[in-house]
A and B are shown apart, each in its own frame.
Chain A
């Protein structure tokens, strides 16, 4: 009961603050801001539960606090990952929207390609890598920044473990 009650209450509070903040002013680095917001709400909530002993359904032991922290972390990460699909228009979503708008007559490959060139599908993602400090642009060439090196290695390892290709 304790994990369910406080986990859902604190996560809902984080979402409410997220909604209010985004309506007032959209952050430049949305995923980072959202992550920090959800983390701050979770940590503040856990601290309040630790210090204010009169709160109902309060966790009382180490395992109970851990269970609540894990619950909050899991839901926060799940939401952050979902949000990345909201923030960026996925090519699949754009394609589905184009095909749906064409109705029963459908759309040809050439018509799809007309709106989906490199300047729409690839170059903005390169710009994102620069914004997120995953890559740097020097003398007209892109190379990985330390953060990008780590992430690339991580995904290369995981793709290899699954015997999967490069993806994309």
Chain B
């Protein structure tokens, strides 16, 4: 193995990041930009690994490594998009020194619920029927149940219980 081959997942990640920024600035939604950039980055890693003569196990390792890096990058973007702590940091950065009431006037539970309800509705994960919200599909329920199961395994407890609708 040479250094070029060793760095292949990093090159893929760099391409992934550049493409996300480019597509996002061109007006594509962040999610579509991320998916498209990930596929391109993976294709780049696979092609470069193949043409550099890597054996299948190394090609697989490069792909998995890039997938893990891409996953991390996706979650970094997701944190910027949805994490409450990041939003609070940005509010404190803009506001300097803020009392609790001032923070809540800029970012409150209502804002948090509004944004998430909107997102869940747009993605079809929940539906609104006569002013009441119901689950929109089994996929989101399955993911939620998987996360709750993981909480129970790792933490031995959860404050959230999911039951099939």
Give A contacts to B, CB under 8 Å: 1, 3-4, 7, 19, 22-23, 26, 61-64, 66-67, 70-71, 74-75, 77-78, 81-83, 85-87, 89-97, 99-109, 112-113, 116-118, 120-123, 125-126, 128-129, 134-135, 138, 140-144, 148-149, 151-153, 155-156, 158-159, 161-164, 166-168
Nearest-Cβ distance from residue B36 to partner chain A, whole angstroms: 14
Complex CA gap A105/B91 in Å reads: 38
Q: Write out the residue numbers on chain B whose beta carbons fall within 8 Å of the beta carbon of A103.
A: 134, 165
Complex CA gap A144/B94 in Å reads: 10
Q: Write out the residue numbers on chain B whose beta carbons fall within 8 Å of the beta carbon of A1.
A: 55, 57-58
| Contact assessment for A162 and B21 in the assembled complex, using a CB-CB cutoff below 8 Å | yes
| Contact assessment for A155 and B131 in the assembled complex, using a CB-CB cutoff below 8 Å | no
| Contact assessment for A166 and B87 in the assembled complex, using a CB-CB cutoff below 8 Å | yes
Consensus secondary structure, chain B interface: helix
Known A97-B160, A107-B132, A142-B97; contact A134-B155, beta-carbon cutoff 8 A: no
Which chain B residue has the least Cβ–Cβ distance from A148?
Answer: B89
Which chain A residue has the least Cβ–Cβ distance from B110?
Answer: A113
Complex CA gap A106/B85 in Å reads: 30
Q: Which of A19, A109, A122, A140 is in CB contact (< 8 Å) with B108? A: A122
Contact with A along B117-155 (1 / 0, CB 8 A): 101100001100101111100001100100110110111
| Contact assessment for A86 and B86 in the assembled complex, using a CB-CB cutoff below 8 Å | no
Which chain A residue has the least Cβ–Cβ distance from B108?
Answer: A118
Complex CA gap A151/B115 in Å reads: 23
